[in-house]
Amino acid sequence: MLSHPRMLRLGLIALLMAGGAVNAATYELPADGSDVIGSVATVTATFEDTLVDIARKNGVGYEDIVRANPGVNVWVPGEGTEVVIPTRFVLPAGPRRGIVLNLAEYRLYYFPEAAEGETPKVMTYPISIGRMDWETPLGNTRVISKVVNPAWYPPKSVRDEHAAEGRPLPRIVPPGPNNPLGRHAMRLGLPGYLIHGTNRPAGVGMRVTHGCLRMFPEDIRYLFDYIAIDTPVRIINEPIKIGWQGDELVMEVHPILESAPAEAADDTTVDAGDETETAADVDATEVDVTDVDAETDIEIETAVEIEAAEKDPLTYVTEQFIVATDQRPGDLDWSLVEEVVRRADGMPVTVGVGDAEIIAVDADNEAVVDGVEIPAVADSEVGNDGIAGDNEVVALEDGPGGEVVASDDTAAD
């Protein structure tokens, strides 16, 4: 019992530190609809620290911290070294609901349903993904069961691989320190694929699994209680993300995942009729996992392979830019885009701005742009000859002195 005042203080500090690590992974979604959350931080390494230690303490994975700190030794960063913590993220495009797993980013996003009057939030955690020869499939699925202290039933293909390496596996690995699933596992509708903990946390944030998604033990323990059965799961491969923060377009670039050769990739494609030979299975105790799909009438989605690596990075940029500017026009600085793509360090960078604001003249014949009231033209000047009129759309942009002026784009053809 912590009865001594100093010991009590140390105990409270430890609890606050543990809570802070978890809370740091939860962000309120920006009220203005922006797509960027978090901020980049720095910490000072101690003599005992490794980058892997620092990454885990701060909610990032191996690849995250290595790319954000080029030139820093992974195992001996050195006492006093300033280490960058890359905890600023562009949210993935698409629906913000359930779980989104972005493989190229080695990251999970969870968008819990917000209660009435509650600010929507997102939780985000680093993950490990399938190796090139055991690719994690893409697609839409859902959580179909949750297990505490799972037993692992490694499929024959995994047992054969371990045997060939001189590390034979039993048919059943019981719960405990030697179980690679850790203490928590969530089974997906894609047969054989799980989101689970690990007994080897140093590998979180790497491409090292047999297709499953691996999390830090403390992360999945915290997330586990939030996730309900039937929570939707979207598995994507978006090495480049573009989103809005205020009037700026922000881009985050990760290296493109290399894909396995066609003959190897064929082995990782899963459909509803396949046996669970691609990854892992668990003992769900109350649920016989071999019969779960039939008994719960859950539709099993068909997985797809990771897109081929020969896709040009600027093609990804173009695709993301089109999505980001679907409802709001913007311009990119393409020379800066190319430099950020070349670095591919996962650090979000502003690469563009919004175009001229598009507004509609209101009933009072006035408009407001960035808090400035702009009188509209008189009704007598209205027409379809290129001059803006009542209830027509006007394009405005900044003038050379900061004033708002009519854009040339409103002129007649």
Query: Using one digit for the tens of pLDDT, what is the confidence trace for 273-298?
Result: 233 333 445 544 333 332 223 222 33
Phi, psi of 240 (to 5 degrees): -125, 130
Q: What are the residue numbers of the active site?
A: 196, 212
Q: Decide: helix, strand or coil at residue 377.
A: coil
pTM for the structure as a whole:
0.74
Query: Using one digit for the tens of pLDDT, what is the confidence trace for 21-39?
Result: 444 689 999 999 999 999 9
Q: What pLDDT is stored for residue 410 in this prediction?
A: 33
- Rounded CA separation 108/184 (Å): 16
What are the beta bridge partners of residue 196?
185, 214
Residues with Cβ within 8 Å of residue 106, at least 6 apart in sequence: 61, 63, 64, 126, 127, 128, 129, 205, 206, 207, 254
- In the 8-state DSSP scheme, what is residue 332? E
The answer on pLDDT for 395 being more than 80 is: no
Query: Using one digit for the tens of pLDDT, what is the confidence trace for 106-149?
Result: 999 999 999 999 999 999 999 999 998 889 999 999 999 999 99
Closest among 61, 64, 69, 22 to 43, alpha carbons compared? 69
- Rounded CA separation 192/1 (Å): 44
**Mean per-residue pLDDT, 366-376:** 41
Angle formed at CA 370 by CA 369 and CA 375, multiple of 5 degrees: 30
Q: What pLDDT is stored for residue 273 in this prediction?
A: 29
Q: Decide: helix, strand or coil at residue 56.
A: helix
Q: What pLDDT is stored for residue 284 in this prediction?
A: 43
Query: Using one digit for the tens of pLDDT, what is the confidence trace for 48-97?
Result: 999 999 999 999 999 999 999 999 999 999 999 999 999 999 999 999 99
Residues with Cβ within 8 Å of residue 302, at least 6 apart in sequence: 139, 270, 271, 272
- Rounded CA separation 203/84 (Å): 19
The answer on pLDDT for 263 being more than 60 is: no
For residue 125, give both structure tokens: 């955690």
**Least confident span in 105-119, 198-212, 264-278:** 264-278
Q: What pLDDT is stored for residue 159 in this prediction?
A: 87
Query: Using one digit for the tens of pLDDT, what is the confidence trace for 167-186?
Result: 888 888 899 998 999 999 99
Specify whether the CB–CB gap between 311 and 254 falls below 8 A: no
pLDDT-derived band at 166 (thresholds 50, 70, 90) equals confident
Query: Using one digit for the tens of pLDDT, what is the confidence trace for 295-352?
Result: 223 333 445 555 544 689 999 999 999 999 999 999 999 999 999 999 999 999 999 9
259 torsion bin: left (phi>0), alpha (psi -120 to 50), beta (else): beta
Q: What pLDDT is stored for residue 355 in this prediction?
A: 84
Domains observed in the chain: 24-39+87-240+255-313 (2.40.440.10), 356-410 (no CATH)
Q: What pLDDT is stored for residue 258 in this prediction?
A: 87
Q: What pLDDT is stored for residue 209 in this prediction?
A: 93
Distances, alpha carbon 106 to alpha carbons 36, 67, 310, in Å: 17, 13, 20
Query: Using one digit for the tens of pLDDT, what is the confidence trace for 216-227?
Result: 999 999 999 999
At 16, which helix (H) or strand (E)? Answer: helix 5-23
The count of C-alpha atoms lying within 13 angstroms of the C-alpha of 308, restricted to the half-sphere facing its C-beta, is 6
* Residue 9 or 301, more confident: 301
CB atoms within 10 A of CB 121: 14
The answer on pLDDT for 372 being more than 60 is: no
* Residue 378 or 70, more confident: 70
Q: Decide: helix, strand or coil at residue 319.
A: helix
For residue 27, give both structure tokens: 């962000």
